[in-house]
Structure 1
Amino acid sequence: MRISNQWLLEWVNHGLSPEELGHRLTMAGLELDALEPAAPAFSGVVVGKVLEVAPHPDADKLSVCQVDDGSGGPVRVVCGAPNVTEGMHVPFARVGAVLPGDFRIRKARLRGVESSGMLCSAKELGLAEASEGLMQLPGDLAVGTDVREALGLDDTILEVDLTPNRADCLSMAGVAREVATLTGQALRTLELPPVSAQVDDRFAVDIQAPDDCPVYAGRVVRGVNAAAETPLWMRERLRRAGLRSLGPLVDVTNYVMLELGQPMHAFDLARLSGGIEVRRAREGERLVLLDGQEIGLEDEDLVIADREKVLALAGIMGGEASGVGETTRDVFLESAHFSPMAIAGRARRHGLHTDSSHRFERGVDPDLPTRALQRATALLCGIAGGQAGPVVQATGTLVPEPEPVVLRAARIERVLGAPVDPAQVTRILSDLGCRVEPMAGVWRVTPPGFRFDLAIEADFIEEVARVHGYEALPAVVPSLSPDLVRLDESRVPLGRVRDLMADLGYQEAITYSFVDPEWEAAFNPEGAPLELANPISSELAVMRTGLWPGLVKALRHNLNRQQERVRLFEIGLRFNAQANDLKQESVLSAVACGAVRPDQWGEPTRPMDFFDLKGDLESLLSLSHASPVFEAAVHPALHPGRSARVMIDGRPCGWIGTLHPELAARLDLTQEACVMELELDAMTRTMVPKYREQSRFPAIRRDLAIVVDAACPVQQVLDSIRSLEIPALRELIVFDVYTGKGVPDGRKSLALGLILQELSRTLTDEEVDEVMKGIVEQLKQDVGATLRA
């Protein structure tokens, strides 16, 4: 929002410098982005009056003018502007003047004729990006007056970045109300007397979408002069607000929007048929907008139509077929209130963003349409003439009246840490437009219709705090009676999980929960992800069913920037549709590629592989003392033979493996990547620590070398031994796997270390031999193992 300080002073005499005003607004939550002058620096330019215009004797496109600049005698000036005429008032740069860009005016001889000065266009003064001729000034300006003074160009523009909840400040009236409240100065209200009807012409209005359009007001104005010139004061205010002047029929509606905050639209009445319909779009309807863009309409689009065609995209932009132009003589002025939910997202869906949609999406005062219509009618008739018809107003489902909220003084003190004077609270809320009923220790506060963000007690406390001034609140150290949080010892804290991943060399990433449908299908072709009704973009159109797409995209981003050793992990939610429900699961996912360790002299560099990532996962699971089982299985996104399903307590809890080569090639990955994903709940469950007696007697280690089928999983061997439930078995270790010479084809040799120990006595060799004999027999029975010779 661009705010002219001069215009603001007409509403409230705040008595602050622009810098002080910007600081006050920022501290109140309306952040100041920039302060800039209303016009670039120039000097020596005065109001001049063209007394005489004669053709140049040696140039067809030049004129020789006599100009009264208030100095006592006419000044001769050679001018090339096509619109110079006798009697017009124009900016005149005297000899010695300095124009924007440090352009100095000197006496010159043009085609043999001496010229003492320069008649200026708006572009030459830095007041427009382009201009076709001289800038015409109002005829009532005194000749010789400095142009900066005459046009009020020594003004400052405050550019304020408003949060989405402060739509009430998207107008001069709203900003002035805010400034008056902050400074305690009186707000000068704008008198809006109704414009009485001079003709009885009406145009019917039918609201067919009552929930989307609570109020629609309009009136016919006949006999307007579309060629009339918009007054300079209005053009200047529009320019300082960042809008171009497009003629009085459009300028008036834009001006009222800036002044009061009510977007409006003017239709060419001659192009309308039958009456106005406010309805949802129908299948197959299309609309050519004012900017020439043709869009296809959807059934969720709210439109303004007549009996034959769509006229406008409601609350966003009008259509080319009904727009006003130079030939317009009769107009239909529209001023409506549209529900924010009916407009929200619709402009973005069509690739649009307009001043109108920006306001309606955030909420416009539902009581404003008729007042704004009266203001626009008065301005339009005053500038372009015409005769107004009666106001035609239709209503849909009216916006419910705001509910009063009880605000407690004790609650204010508790939240802010200090009491606020009750009279100050009453003044602040009243100045903000609220209806306030003070009572003993409480206030009954009803928010105004233009404040959609005030609904609960905390909202009003925030208003009191920001207007009273956060810096004015005393720094008080509150008394602290902390409630000790009971720690669940059966859970591993997430902070510990993150710390360990960082210790293992991983960096935490945060990726979007929305992903590209093509990426999602590549990683989970059999899944049915939830599609978003209104995605931010086509690349973020579905909810992720796993975290791999986002992490792999981040991995590719790093690889493309010559980061060859990448370790990323993320803790987040995955979303899986189940019947009519959406199941959300917290998971930990990781991706890694590149060298196992950074380059060093101690050992040769080798790339990360499946077993390196498996080791990281086992380190992670050691936090919860889980005993994972890695079961060979096939996943569509993983390399066959280099993938495994992770089982914990007999339940599948995740996957680990190397990305499928075809998938890696399709995603343009330059290195082989390993990925894993594990349910967070299964990983963070742990046993509560319990005391276990330590044996005072020596342990005995026996090693066992067996030969089993090459396809036999090592885990099956370990499970077979553990199934014997040997009380003395303290530890079971696999310390060697061998195939080759001395081992039959199709078989492999496993070397196992068994540590046995009793709590109450020393084991004898005979007892240990008996245990080993039982183990060998069990292995022979379960996995067909034989002792290695």
Structure 2
Amino acid sequence: MKFSESWLRTLVDTQLSSEALSHLLTMAGLEVEGLEPVAPQFNDVVVALVLDVVKHPDADRLNVCKVDTGRGEPTTIVCGAPNVAVGLRVPCALPGAKLPGDFTIKIAKVRGIESSGMLCSAKELGIAEEASGLLVLPADAPVGQSIREYLDLDDSQFELKLTPNRADCLSLTGVAREVAAIAGAQAKLIEVPEVAATIADQRAVVLNAPDACPLYCGRVLKGVNAKAPTPEWMKRRLERSGIRSISALVDVTNYVMLELGQPLHAFDNTKLEGAVHARMAKPEEKLLLLNEQAIAIDADILVIADDVKPLAMAGIMGGEESGITLETSELFLESAFFAPKAIAGRARRYGFGSDASHRFERGVDFGGARRAIERATQLIIDICGGAAGPVVEAKAEMPARQPVRLRSARASAVIGMVFSAEQIAGLFNGLGLPFVREGDDFLVTPPTWRFDIEIEEDLIEEIARLHGYDNIPAPAPRGNLKMMVQPEAQRPAARVRQLLVDRGYQEVVNFAFVEEAWEADFAANPDLIRLANPIASQMAVMRSTLFGGLISNLVTNLKRKQSRVRLFETGRAFQRDAQGAPVAGFRQPWKLAGLAYGGALPEGWGSGALKVDFFDMKGDIEALLAPAQLRFERLQHPALHPGRAAKVLLDGREIGCLGELHPEWVQKYDLPQAPVVFELDFDLVKAVHVPSYLEVSKFPPVIRDLAIVVDQGLGLQTLLDGMKEQLPTLVQDIQLFDVYVGKGVPENKKSLAFRIVMQDTQRTLLDSEVDAAMQQLVSCLERAFGAQLRA
């Protein structure tokens, strides 16, 4: 909303500067989006009277003028304006005046004739972008008066960016009420006396849709002069509010709308037939609007009509056929309240808007409709003459104003500072909010112009606004903090990430919303968790595995010619689970996933072309969870190679999987080679095993090698588990160091060589003890696995 600062200051007595007023309004929730002077700075420009005009003897387009500037003797000025004439009152820049554009007026000779000043156009004064001649002033403009004073050019133009709930501030009265409350000033609102009826003419009003239009006031005025000029002060205030002056009658309705916030409409009374109705549109009704747009009126549109035809879209725009013209001498003036729900969105449906609809759809002061019609009537009579008939008012059930309870203690707790009941009462009184005190509680009844007060929080906001957000203390947060002990068995997530970074991985962050195909390929998930409102069509389901995002990252890196890629990600996966929490029906485990692709080592002169494989990734996972001892068992997984995938077990509990990507997906996603991937339960990865102290032996170990031949299909882990079950107490460690298949080994057999470390903490071992322990191991292997010592 735009308005003139000088107009506002006639309604509220405040000594604040323009900048201070702007800041105050903004901090009260009425954001000042623009504050500009209505005219640039200039000086020594006065109202002048043209006394004489003669052609310049040496120039066809110049005139020599005698001008009275109110400074004594007439002044000679050479002027080239086409509209200069005797008797005009125009702005005159005196010698020494500085005009916009850093232009200084000097006494100079123009084609041999001395010119002592310059007659000015509106463009030369910086108050208009274009001008075809001198700025002609009214005939009563006082000669010699400063033009800045006469045209009120020391004014500023405010532009407010109002939130939709503050429709009460779409008027100068509303803004003045706010300024008075927040600045502690005195509001000087317009007094509107009732205009006595001097003629008996009236027109009946019928409310056919009382829910949409519960109040309608109308009045007939006769003998008005529609051609009467709009007063300069009114035109000036309208223009500085962004409204173009049209005619006196239209200007008055616009002026009252800006002043009081009540949109009005004037019909040509001679074009109306019978009573005026506020009703819903009838089927197939059509209307030619004032903007020359012909519309077919929808059935849910509220219209103003007479007994025969529709006249206007209620609260939006009048009709062309019943509109006033410069020939109108008899009019029917309307002031009504239309329910916001009956107006909201209707204008936009037809591709236009209006100042009236902008206000009605947000809520207009239904207690001010009568006041607005009286104000407009008086202005019309003062400017255009005429006589007024009685006001006809039709009224149904008005919007209920339900009292809202405010607890002083609650307000203090929310705002963060203590407010006494007396302080709150003073703030409410300043804003004109009627209330009843019940101890420290307030029962506030919203006034007719406030549609935004419905709950206690609305009143708390009013207190904060009026007190001033700048005045609310902002102390630094304080709290009794206790340094929590970090459990030794729990690693911080950052430490886990750092371990992976140390091994050459880079962290990525992907959306939890994924393509449906990824869930089918990498999780074989038939029960998808679909999003009700996805941000993109290809991100329509929630992921149950992190593999899809990592493969997508790999594809992106390969397109950018990255031949060696190491990535990891931590994030939530989403699975259906009837016992899930915190969202019922869903489980959200925290996962850690990684991917390795390309060379096992960075390219260099000392490293070969060995590609990363299952065992490289296995080593990374073992290092990540060290000193815990992991087990790996064969796994069938929809995303992984059937023969190169394993489940990861910690203390007998499955914590994840690793393996090469399935050949089908390698081909589908156009990968030159298969990446190796893993996915683990991140919470279990962070829970590390705390090492327990064992005495370090001072005695030398005994190391023996043991080579056995077993079936080729027998797994290493199975062998180790069987050996550990029967492990002699002297054996401290068993490590596989060689696997051989070929000459000297029977078909379908393989040779495994183990290094056995034996040691005691109290003494040096005897050969006989070592031999007995080795024989015990061999016997165990022969019995359990049919193993044979290799010759």
Q: Shorter-chain TM-score category?
A: 0.5 to 0.7
Question: Do the aligned partners of 1:529 and 1:542 also contact (CA within 8 Å) in 2?
Answer: no
1:765 Cα shift? 6.4
Change (3 A) 1:94 1:476: closer
Q: 195, 198, 201: which is aligned to 1:199?
A: 201
Give the structure 2 partner of residue 36 of structure 1: 36
Deviation (angstroms), 1:436: 2.7
Q: Following the alignment from structure 1 to structure 2, what is the Cα–Cα distance between the partners of residues 563 and 386?
A: 86
Deviation at 1:434, TM superposition (A): 1.2
Q: Distance in 1 between matches of 2:295 and 2:706?
A: 78
Corresponding residue for residue 784 of structure 1: none
Q: What is the distance in 1 between the residues matched to 2:189 and 2:493?
A: 57
1:442 counterpart residue number? 441
User: Residue 25 of structure 1 corresponds to which residue in structure 2?
Assistant: 25
Q: Counterpart of 1:443 in 2: which secondary structure?
A: strand
Cα distance in 1, alignment partners of residues 594 and 249 from structure 2? 60
TM-score normalised by L of structure 2 = 0.63
User: For each residue in 1:613-672, what CA deviation from the matched residue of structure 2 results, as whole angstroms up to 9, or x when unmatched?
Assistant: x99x999x999x9999997659xxxxxxxxxxx9xx99999xx999x999999xxxxxx9
Amino acid at match of 1:154: D
Shift of 1:100: 1.9
Amino acid at match of 2:216: A
State the partner residue of 1:80. 81
Decide which moves more: 226-235 or 324-333: 324-333
Instruction: Supply the distance in 1 between the matched residues of 2:322 and 2:116 (Cα, whole angstroms).
Output: 45
Q: 1:531–1:541: 8 Å Cα contact kept in structure 2?
A: no
Report the equivalent of 2:11: 11
Contact 2:121 2:131 in 1 (8 A): yes
Structure 1 CA distance for aligned equivalents of residues 450 and 60 of structure 2:
61
| Cα offsets for 1:485-522 (capped at 9, x unmatched) | 9999999999999999999755769x9x9x9xxx9999
Q: Residues of 1 paired with 2:319 and 2:417: CA distance?
A: 58
Q: Distance in 2 between matches of 1:40 and 1:277?
A: 50
Deviation at 1:150, TM superposition (A): 1.4
CA distance in 2, matches of 1:459, 1:428: 14
Secondary structure at the counterpart of residue 90 of structure 1: strand
Counterpart residue type for residue 144 of structure 2: G
Give the CA deviation at 1:12: 1.8
Against the structure 1 CA distance between its residues 231 and 692, is the aligned structure 2 distance closer, same or farther, given a 3 Å change threshold? same
Residues 627/204 of structure 1: CA separation in 2 closer, same or farther (3 Å cut)? farther
Which deviations, in whole Å up to 9, do the C-alpha atoms of 1:674-730 show, x marking residues without a partner?
A: 9x9999xx8769998898978889999999999999xx9xxxx9999999999899x
Match of 1:217 in 2: 216
Instruction: Please say if residues 597 and 612 of structure 2, whose CA atoms lie closer than 8 Å, have aligned partners that are also in contact.
Output: no
- Residue 405 of structure 1: CA displacement? 0.8
TM-score (norm 1): 0.63
Structure 1 residue 234 and structure 2 residue 220: aligned? Answer: no
Quick check: 2:267–2:333 contact (8 Å CA) kept in 1? Answer: yes
Alignment-derived partner of residue 260 in structure 1 = 260
Q: Is 193-202 or 588-597 further displaced after alignment?
A: 588-597
| Deviation for aligned residue 1:431 | 0.9
Aligned equivalent of 2:642: none
Does the CA contact (< 8 Å) of 2:40 and 2:126 recur in 1? yes
Go from structure 1 to structure 2 and tell me whether the alpha carbon gap of 1:311 and 1:651 turns closer, same or farther (over 3 Å shift). farther
Q: By how many angstroms is 1:42 displaced?
A: 1.8
Change (3 A) 1:192 1:267: same
**2:21 corresponds to which letter in structure 1?**
L
Work out whether residues 2 and 157 of structure 1, in 8 Å CA contact, stay in contact via their aligned partners in 2: yes
Q: Deviations over 1:289-322 (max 9, x none)?
A: 76678999988x755465899877766x537856
Residue 464 (structure 1) aligns with: 463
Structure 2 CA distance, aligned partners of 1:40 and 1:93?
15
Within 1, Cα distance between the matches of 2:569 and 2:137?
A: 66
Q: Secondary structure at the match of 2:94?
A: strand
- More moved, 120-129 vs 383-392: 383-392
State how far apart, in whole Å, the 2-side matches of 1:529 and 1:772 are.
54
CA distance in 2, matches of 1:319, 1:461: 40
> Partner residue of 2:789?
none
1:178-197 aligned at under 5 Å gives the runs: 178-195=178-195, 196=197
State how far apart, in whole Å, the 2-side matches of 1:280 and 1:661 are: 67
Counterpart of 2:422 in structure 1 is 423
Amino acid at match of 2:189: T
Task: Give the 3-state SS of the residue equivalent to 2:44 in structure 1.
Answer: strand
How far is 1:66 from its partner? 5.1
The aligned counterpart of 1:151 is: 151
1:2-401 equivalence runs, <5 A? 2-51=2-51, 67-71=67-71, 72-73=73-74, 78=79, 80-82=81-83, 87-105=87-105, 117-131=117-131, 133-195=133-195, 196=197, 199-202=201-204, 206-207=208-209, 210=211, 213=212, 215=214, 217=216, 219=218, 227-264=227-264, 275-278=277-280, 302=301, 304=303, 306=305, 318=317, 321=320, 329=328, 330=331, 333=334, 335-339=336-340, 343=344, 359-360=359-360, 362-385=362-385, 390-393=391-394, 395=396, 398-401=398-401
TM-superposed CA distance for 1:92, in Å, is 3.0
When Rg is computed on C-alpha atoms for both structures, the one with the higher figure is: 2
| Structure 2 residue runs without a partner (length 5+) | 521-525, 577-582, 640-647, 728-735, 744-749, 759-764, 787-791
For 1:286 and 1:766, how far apart are their aligned partners in 2?
108
* SS of equivalent residue, structure 1 residue 207: coil
1:461 and 1:60, CA in 2 relative to 1: closer, same or farther beyond 3 A? same
Q: Is the 8 A contact 2:27 2:465 kept in 1?
A: yes
Partner secondary structure for residue 127 of structure 1: coil
Map of 1:491-570 to 2, 5 A cutoff?
Answer: 505=506, 545=541
* C-alpha contact (below 8 Å) 2:207/2:214 kept by paired residues: no
One-letter code aligned to 2:462: E
Counterpart-to-counterpart distance in 2, 1:498 and 1:348: 54
| Cα pair distance change 1:68/1:439, threshold 3 Å | same
In the aligned structure 2, how far is the partner of 1:392 from the partner of 1:416? 44
Counterpart of 1:638 in structure 2 is: none
CA distance in 1, matches of 2:756, 2:695: 15
Change (3 A) 1:416 1:496: farther
Contact 1:50 1:85 in 2 (8 A): yes
Q: Distance in 1 between matches of 2:718 and 2:304?
A: 78
- Cα shift at 1:234: 2.1
Higher alpha-carbon deviation: 220-229 or 585-594: 585-594
Deviations 1:550-599 (A, max 9, x none): x99x99xx99xx999999999899999xxxx99999799999999999x9
Could you tell me how far apart the structure 2 residues matched to 1:425 and 1:204 are? 44
- Aligned partner of 1:21: which letter? L
Contact 1:79 1:119 in 2 (8 A): no
Within 2, Cα distance between the matches of 1:382 and 1:568? 81
Q: Which letter maps to 1:78?
A: C
Q: Which whole-Å CA distance do the structure 2 matches of 1:220 and 1:2 have between them?
A: 29
Deviation at 1:145, TM superposition (A): 0.4
Which amino acid letter does the alignment assign opposite residue 367 of structure 2? D
Give, in angstroms, the shift of residue 428 of structure 1: 1.0
Following the alignment from structure 2 to structure 1, what is the Cα–Cα distance between the partners of residues 362 and 145? 44
Alignment of 1:664-703 (within 5 A): none
Cα 1:546/1:171, change in 2 over 3 Å: farther
Unaligned runs of 5+ in 1: 635-645, 666-671, 730-734, 743-748, 778-789
The 1-side partners of 2:380 and 2:561 are apart by 63
Question: In the alignment, is the contact (CA less than 8 A) between 1:99 and 1:124 conserved in 2?
Answer: yes
Q: Distance in 2 between matches of 1:58 and 1:692?
A: 111
Q: Secondary structure at the match of 2:154?
A: coil
Contact 1:92–1:120 (CA<8 Å) still a contact in 2?
A: yes
**SS of equivalent residue, structure 1 residue 137:** coil
Determine helix, strand or coil for the equivalent of 2:216: strand
Report the CA distance between 1:45 and its aligned residue. 1.8
Aligned AA for 1:339? P
1:665-744 paired onto structure 2 within 5 Å: none
1:146 CA displacement: 0.3
Q: Report SS of the residue matched to 2:10.
A: helix
Q: Residue 722 and residue 157 in structure 1: after superposition, are their counterparts in 2 closer, same or farther (change >3 A)?
A: farther
